[in-house]
Amino acid sequence: MNDDIHDWVMDMFREMLANDQREMAYKIEAFNSAAFASDMEAVEASFPELLAYARSNENAWLEIFLRHWRLQAYLGTPNDPRPLVTEALDLVAFAHKDNTMDCPQRICAIDDLNGIYGSIDAAGYAGERLEMLNEVLATTPNMRECYSCLTFGKIGVLLDLGRAEEAVDVFDTAVREAPAVGSSVRGKYYYRSLAEYVARAYIETNRTDDALKLLAKCEPPKPYTQTEVDLLFVMAYLQKGDKKSAHDAFQRVSSIKEIDNIYLKRLVEVIPLATDAKLIDVDDELVQRLLALAEGASTRGRSGEAFDCAHLVVSLSRKLNNEDAATKAIMIMEESLPSLNRQDSAKKTLSATRQTAL
């Protein structure tokens, strides 16, 4: 049995070439590259054909590989994650059939589900996500690559639950005990996860120097992820009291105007710190920009981010006495509420926000 799905795919690729199935082999290779780059046009162009190929050959492993990477490609875009739920659940069910029990990517289907619910309402679904990941990690050998993937996922969930100390412990233990995690930390592939989860956990636990060291080593595999890294730099430098470096890092963030919804969660954390440190002025332009981002997130089904961003807009609007912006932001919070899993806390937040803002 092959423990590594990528090795397995490469073996299949070579076998297909040897069996004169060159065209389909190259299409699978191109699909893989496109999915990794979240090039959805290329992914959607080839996915149906490859899936039909996998099904007609009753190649369940290939089917899981294709469906998993399509979901991952989609999750790398700022698009609406809600339509993915049916497909992700169907994939998990498919991946738990008898003929797929040995497929190493069976576990990855669960990580897809984690990613989708994390995109819809990260904090709201954190409990279920943690339970799900804990169960899978308990039965996954730690030398597998997917163990490190799930570990980073778990660190992210712990952060969503506000359990940063635990997140750092999980990371330290995993690096110490799991060879796959150790090698992944060194590999470029996981740097985005590192930047997003581990550095964030270090900042939360006041291990600022460790966070800065980690961020300095980050070589994001895709240019756009540099923004994520820079936002974390801002947080770390401000925590360290190095306002000059924080300012420089904030300048590197391409421009709040161009920032994408994909960084919204981090941006919502950074903006209050940046305004307190006077790295950016609280003005109508900033409020309108954040309002637009909140609207965008709401339209794209990223209800948790939309709710939190709109909440921030309300607090900034109060400083400017901008009642119009506050009203619009509260409407976004109301629209997002039904899709949130953290109903009780969100209702309380909304009610308190209404009282103070209007």
Q: Which residues of the shown chain bind another protein in the complex (CB under 8 A)? A: 23, 26-27, 30-31, 34, 39, 41-42, 44-46, 48-49, 51-52, 55-56, 85-86, 89-90, 92-93, 96, 110, 113, 117, 125, 128-136, 341
Q: Which is nearer to another protein, 99 or 356 (CB)?
A: 99
Give the C-alpha separation, 239 to 116, whole Å: 31
Measured distance CA(257)–CA(60) in Å, rounded: 45
Residue 199 C-beta: closest distance to another protein, Å: 26
3-state secondary structure of 280: coil
Distance in Å, CB of 88 to another protein, minimum: 9
Give me the least distance between CB of 186 and another protein, in Å please: 25
User: In whole angstroms, how close is the CB of 166 to another protein at the nearest point?
Assistant: 17
CB of 342 to another protein, least distance (A): 13
Contact 253, 223 (CB under 8 A): no
Q: Going by C-beta distance under 8 Å and a sequence separation of 6 or more, which residues neighbour residue 293?
A: 259, 261, 264, 267, 309
Cα–Cα dist 76/74, whole Å: 5
Half-sphere exposure of residue 357: CA atoms within 13 angstroms, side-chain side: 27
Q: Which is nearer to another protein, 27 or 354 (CB)?
A: 27
Dist CA 40 CA 25 (whole Å): 20
Shortest separation between residue 85's beta carbon and another protein, angstroms: 6
For 174, phi then psi, to 5°, come to -65, -40
Q: Which is nearer to another protein, 39 or 166 (CB)?
A: 39
Nearer CB in complex with another protein: 338/355:
338
CB-wise, 45 or 331, nearer to another protein? 45
Nearer to another protein, 33 or 356 (CB): 33
Q: Do residues 260 and 225 lie in contact, with contact meaning Cβ atoms separated by under 8 Å?
A: no
